[in-house]
Amino acid sequence: MTDSEKLSCCITFDFDGMSSWIGSAKSRNPSMISRGQFGAVAIPRILDLLDRYMVRSSFAVPGHTAYAYPGLVQDIFARGHEIVHHGWVHENPADFDEAGERNLLDQGLEALQKVVGVRPSGYRSPAWDFSERTVDLLIEYGFDYDSSCMGHDFYPYYLRSGDEWDTDSAYRFGSVTELVELPVYWGLDDFPLSEFVMGLNEGLKAPSAVEEMWRGDFDFAKQNCPAGLFTLTLHPQTIGRGNRMLMLERLLQYFNEHGAKFEVMGDYAQRWKAANPVEDWKLVNPELSGESAIKP
Ligand SMILES: [Zn+2]
């Protein structure tokens, strides 16, 4: 296998801090919010683990978290990792009107600029939620890639703008844009598998069970998806606890021994886009572009 055919591995971290409990869970409960504070405890041990295995990662950071823990976010960046936009306070963009959604993007950008002096090329929506206008706004704001959607497993694709649907007529595909999607999946995310949320999410799976699932998906990708992309979405407040850290270390060893190429999402997105011009990609992906659909 040549180097260009290797499977790329993006070990991504969503450093939500308190923001996910405030924005997504809408909590006023200090105990619940303290679960996010544990993310700050976990960051140094995660950074040390990544250093030991020479893994560069992508960290999605809400503006709210960047202000709460500027030193940690600066350390993440200084140690060579990529910083990705992750909203303002982990809100669902669909809960806002257009001016409100713009404000969330602006506040996130402003915080990352102030704390680490970067304007990220990538975006990951909090809880992977989009409004119907999110794609257009990400393009207008100049993002190169997004990592929030699930239309593929181990290959990127181009997002469409202007899809329309109702229950009375055929699906109307919009136009393919230049915005690269690096897909995600709930089964490759530690939160639903491991994080207990009373009445909402059972979580607390044995790390050995999670390890088996993730290793199996990696094996499939490696065997079937040359030059593809295997993305894990991890949360410091979840993966950073005891046994799960040991499991993550075993996985990094396994990926390493099985020829994975660790890289950050921005580098992969740039390389993939250069190798897959939109018009060429549309020709060989008529289902993903919507070109083959019967028009209503
Ligand atoms: Zn998040």
**pLDDT tens digits, one per residue of 179-229:** 999 999 999 999 999 999 989 999 999 999 999 999 999 999 999 999 999
Interval between CA 20 and ligand 1 midpoint (Å)? 6
Q: How confident is the model at residue 4 (pLDDT cuts 50, 70, 90)?
A: confident
- Domain membership of residue 64 (yes or no) is yes
Give residue 198 CA to ligand 1 midpoint distance, Å.
19
37 alpha carbon – ligand 1 mean position (Å)? 14
pLDDT at site 152: 98
Tell me how far the alpha carbon of residue 283 lies from the centroid of ligand 1, in angstroms.
34
CA distance 7 to 154: 9
Q: How far is the CA of 285 from the centre of ligand 1 (A)?
A: 30
Is residue 66 over pLDDT 90?
yes
Percent of the chain with pLDDT over 90: 96
Angle (CA) 124-164-101 rounded to 5° is 40
**Neighbour tally for 211: CB within 10 Å:** 18
The residue assigned the tokens 């997002």 is 159
Q: What is the mean pLDDT of the chain?
A: 96
Whether residue 229 is contained in a domain is answered as yes
Please name the residues in contact with 14: beta carbons below 8 A apart, sequence gap of 6 or more: 59, 60, 86, 124, 233, 234, 235
- Provide the domain count of the chain: 1
Phi, psi dihedrals of residue 112, rounded to the nearest 5°: -70, -35
Is residue 67 a part of any domain in this protein?
yes
Going from the Cα of 293 to the center of ligand 1, the distance in angstroms, rounded, reads: 34
CATH at residue 169 = 3.20.20.370
In a domain, 12, yes or no: yes
- Measured in Å, residue 75 CA sits from the centre of ligand 1 at 19
Domain of residue 203 covers 3-289
- How far is 194 from 203, CA to CA, in rounded Å? 4
CA of 25 to the centre of ligand 1 (A): 11
Q: How far is the CA of 7 from the centre of ligand 1 (A)?
A: 25
How far is the centre of ligand 1, averaged over its atoms, from the C-alpha of 118 (Å)? 19
Q: How many helices (H) and strands (E) does the chain have?
A: 13, 9
- Cα of 70 from ligand 1 centre, angstroms: 17
Distance 45 CA to ligand 1 centre (A): 19
Position 296 pLDDT exceeds 90: no
Task: Tell whether 295 is covered by a domain.
Answer: no
- Please give the distance, rounded to the nearest whole angstrom, from the Cα atom of residue 16 to the centre of ligand 1: 5
Q: Which of 290, 15, 270 is nearest to 143 (CA)?
A: 270
* Ligand 1 midpoint to CA 224 (Å): 29
Residue 167 counted as domain residue: yes
CA–CA gap between residue 167 and residue 90 (Å, rounded) = 31
Confidence at residue 21, expressed as pLDDT on a 0 to 100 scale: 96
Name the pLDDT band for 2 (thresholds 50, 70, 90): confident
- Is residue 294 included in any domain, yes or no? no
Q: What is the pLDDT of residue 3?
A: 77
List of residues 6+ apart from 146 with CB closer than 8 A: 122, 123, 124, 125, 135, 138, 159, 179, 180, 181, 182
